[in-house]
């Protein structure tokens, strides 16, 4: 079945892209290896925060369909690969999903197709990994028979102000003609297209965006560690520094870094550099700082209980918000996992409250979920605010009878201590 676009990978990146394509009038098909994802979408159900069931229904009304059949890519004018690129258990870049997707796309690739990779990876991935896989699988040649480009995703889950359409899109192709086709495609979806000099520059730009955030978060984390040691209010320091109208960008400390991008992307850059004999010393230092934060939260929790004559061993500790960012259900790489692990290792009984996350486990062991925030606070010996969901703004943590450790600097109260 011929169509304008096939999106490979229907997760946090691919599904919003498919919706935007439907809005722009492109006939769109989604391909995913997960039968559950495809089944949910076929039933009109969304599995990501940024799209509602109504959004999926509207997409289906516009002709969208989802399938587990990779052969659909052979009927598309454009194929966009949006599969996850995470880390192995050892912390190394894991491109297995990207390799598999390229083989599937290449097997049915027809002349004239534009293939775009949006998955984040190290510089050189498009030319050194994707291109050979597609050419071997298809028997076609980039530039002569089909077009290949790279355009890094810029999805920010939960961001209502910036979506696909109004976020500038960086693109580059393997040849000038490949770039031309990619610009024409994204020009139908976004307001601004930025052309990179080459695919390596586009790949590097994506890694720089998130590495910039990673390093600066690590900096304020280390400032917070120092301020805690010497008795300085880091939150007031940040408030004061943030009044400077130039030369300062505000970042906040926290219990650790979560999500699919910021904890992962710098490792792709670091690993690639290492393979080429270059050492990103700043990244290594930043990783060392960030890695300390969950343990620092556990130490602070133990200190607050000690001030009340209690021990973590046997204490009832309530985690408030276990997703990696506010008001979403996404728990990928959430620091809540390490915090819960550290608390339980010291004998604490740990439960959690999060209106967005119905189930949460640490090391494969499910944590009890508290339904009522007020009741959970009433029975806890200590509450640790890990994520500042909007539901916590009402002040219940600040009114709690138990001690509260606020790792986000978002609440105040007589019994609240900030990270």
Does residue 212 lie in a domain region?
Answer: no
Residue 304 contacts residue 382 (beta carbons within 8 Å): yes
Q: What is the pLDDT along the chain (419 residues), one digit of tens a residue?
A: 789 999 999 999 999 999 999 999 999 999 999 999 999 999 999 999 899 999 999 999 999 999 999 999 999 999 999 999 999 988 899 999 999 999 999 999 999 999 999 999 999 999 999 999 999 999 999 999 999 999 999 999 888 899 999 999 999 999 999 999 999 999 999 999 999 999 999 999 999 999 999 999 999 999 999 999 999 999 999 999 999 999 999 999 999 999 989 999 999 999 999 999 999 999 999 999 999 999 999 999 999 999 999 999 999 999 999 999 999 999 999 999 999 999 999 999 999 999 999 999 998 899 999 999 999 999 999 999 999 999 998 777 888 889 999 999 999 888 999 99
Does residue 208 lie in a domain region?
Answer: no
Same domain, 160 and 256: no
Query: pLDDT at position 414, please?
Result: 87
Which tokens is 411 given? 């609440």
Partners of 79 in beta bridges: 6, 115
Percentage, residues of the chain above pLDDT 70: 100
Enclosing domain of residue 53: 3-196
Final residue of a structural domain among 166, 196, 226: 196
Query: pLDDT at position 229, please?
Result: 96
Same domain, 127 and 270: no
Partners of 169 in beta bridges: 193
pLDDT digits 0-9 by tens, 286-323: 999 999 999 999 999 999 999 999 999 999 999 999 99
Q: Distance between alpha carbon 219 and the CA centroid of its chain, in Å?
A: 20
Identify which of 10, 16, 3 has the alpha carbon closest to the alpha carbon of residue 189.
16
Give the chain as a 3 state SS string: CCEEEEEECCCCCHHHHHHHHHHCCCCEEEECCCHHHHHHHHCCCCCCCCCCHHHHHHHHHCCCEEECCHHHHHHEEEEEECCCCEECCCCCEECHHHHHHHHHHHHCCCCCCEEEECCCCCCCHHHHHHHHHHHHHHCCCECCCEEEEECCCCCCCCCCCCCCCCCCEEEEECCHHHHHHHHHHHHCCCCCEEECCCHHHHHHHHHHHHHHHHHHHHHHHHHHHHHHHHCCCHHHHHHHHCCCCCCCCCCCCCCCCCCCCCCCHHHHHHHHHHHCCCCCHHHHHHHHHHHHHHHHHHHHHHHHHHHCCCCCCCCEEEEECCCCCCCCCCCCCCCHHHHHHHHHHCCCEEEEECCCCCCCEECCEECCECCCHHHHHHHCCEEEECCCCHHHCCCHHHHCCCEEEECCCCCCCCCEEEC
Same domain, 266 and 367: yes
Residues in contact with 118: Cβ distance below 8 Å, sequence separation at least 6, in sequence order:
13, 14, 17, 80, 81, 82, 150, 151, 152, 153
Same domain, 253 and 327: yes
Final residue of a structural domain among 196, 228, 245: 196
Same domain, 295 and 409: yes
Q: What are phi and psi of 382, to 5 degrees?
A: -155, 135
Same domain, 166 and 228: no
In whole angstroms, give the CA distance from residue 63 to residue 5: 12
Same domain, 12 and 160: yes
Task: Output the CA torsion 158→160→161→164 (10° steps).
Answer: 80
Does residue 116 lie in a domain region?
Answer: yes
In whole angstroms, give the CA distance from residue 274 to residue 307: 46
Final residue of a structural domain among 196, 231, 259: 196
Residue 364 contacts residue 323 (beta carbons within 8 Å): no
Report the domain count for the chain: 2
Strands 169-173 and 147-150: antiparallel
Kindly calculate the radius of gyration of the chain based on its CA atoms and give it in whole angstroms.
Answer: 23
Identify which of 227, 198, 252, 186 has the alpha carbon closest to the alpha carbon of residue 410.
252
Does residue 210 lie in a domain region?
Answer: no
In whole angstroms, give the CA distance from residue 412 to residue 247: 29
- From the list 3, 261, 391, 402, the catalytic residue is 261
Same domain, 246 and 152: no
Q: The tokens 């309530």 sit on which residue?
A: 318
Does residue 211 lie in a domain region?
Answer: no
Instruction: Give me the chain's average pLDDT, please.
Output: 95
Q: How many CA atoms lie within 13 A of 304 on its CB side?
A: 21
Same domain, 185 and 241: no
Query: pLDDT at position 136, please?
Result: 97
Identify which of 126, 104, 114, 127 has the alpha carbon closest to the alpha carbon of residue 79.
114
In whole angstroms, give the CA distance from residue 410 to residue 385: 9
Does residue 204 lie in a domain region?
Answer: no
Same domain, 23 and 77: yes
Query: pLDDT at position 260, please?
Result: 87
Calculate helix-pair angle for 199-230, 281-307, nearest 10 degrees. Answer: 30
Q: The tokens 């028997």 sit on which residue?
A: 139
Does residue 252 lie in a domain region?
Answer: yes
Same domain, 192 and 253: no
Does residue 201 lie in a domain region?
Answer: no
Same domain, 178 and 286: no
Single pTM value for the model: 0.92
The CATH number assigned to the domain holding 48 equals: 3.40.50.720
Q: 391 an active-site residue?
A: no
Strands 3-8 and 416-418: unpaired
In whole angstroms, give the CA distance from residue 244 to residue 232: 20
């Amino acid at each position: 079945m011929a169509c304008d676009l096939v999106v490979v990978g229907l997760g946090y990146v691919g599904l919003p892209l498919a919706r935007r394509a439907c809005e722009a009038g492109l006939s769109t098909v989604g391909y995913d290896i997960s039968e559950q994802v495809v089944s949910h979408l076929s039933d009109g159900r969304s599995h990501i925060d940024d799209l509602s069931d109504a959004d999926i229904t509207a997409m289906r009304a516009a002709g969208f369909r989802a399938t587990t059949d990779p052969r659909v890519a052979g009927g598309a004018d454009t194929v966009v690969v949006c599969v996850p690129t995470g880390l192995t258990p050892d912390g190394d870049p894991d491109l297995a999903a990207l390799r598999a997707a390229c083989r599937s796309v290449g097997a049915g690739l027809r002349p004239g197709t534009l293939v775009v990779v949006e998955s984040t990876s190290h510089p050189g991935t498009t030319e050194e990994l994707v291109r050979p896989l597609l050419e071997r699988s298809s028997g076609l040649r980039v530039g002569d028979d089909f077009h290949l480009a790279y355009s890094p995703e810029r999805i920010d889950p939960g961001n209502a102000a910036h979506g696909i359409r109004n976020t500038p899109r960086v693109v580059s192709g393997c040849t000038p003609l490949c770039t031309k086709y990619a610009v024409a495609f994204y020009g139908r979806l976004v307001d601004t297209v930025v052309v990179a000099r080459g695919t390596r520059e586009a790949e590097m730009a994506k890694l720089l965006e998130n590495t910039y955030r990673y390093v600066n978060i690590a900096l304020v984390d280390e400032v917070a560690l120092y301020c805690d040691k010497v008795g300085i209010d880091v939150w007031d320091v940040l408030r004061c520094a943030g009044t400077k109208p130039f030369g300062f960008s505000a970042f906040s400390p926290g219990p650790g870094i979560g999500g699919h991008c910021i904890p992962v992307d710098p490792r792709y850059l670091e690993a690639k550099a290492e393979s080429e004999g270059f050492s990103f010393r700043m990244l290594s230092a930043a990783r060392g700082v960030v890695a300390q934060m969950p343990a620092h939260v556990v130490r602070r929790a133990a200190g607050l209980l000690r001030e009340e004559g209690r021990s973590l061993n046997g204490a009832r500790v309530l985690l408030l918000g276990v997703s990696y960012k506010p008001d979403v259900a996404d728990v990928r790489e959430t620091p809540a996992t390490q915090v819960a692990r550290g608390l339980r290792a010291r004998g604490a009984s740990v439960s959690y409250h999060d209106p967005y996350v119905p189930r949460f486990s640490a090391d494969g062991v499910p944590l009890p979920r508290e339904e009522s925030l007020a009741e959970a606070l009433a029975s806890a010996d200590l509450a640790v605010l890990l994520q500042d969901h909007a539901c916590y703004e009402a002040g219940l943590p600040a009114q709690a009878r138990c001690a509260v450790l606020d790792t986000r600097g978002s609440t105040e109260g007589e019994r609240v201590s900030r990270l």
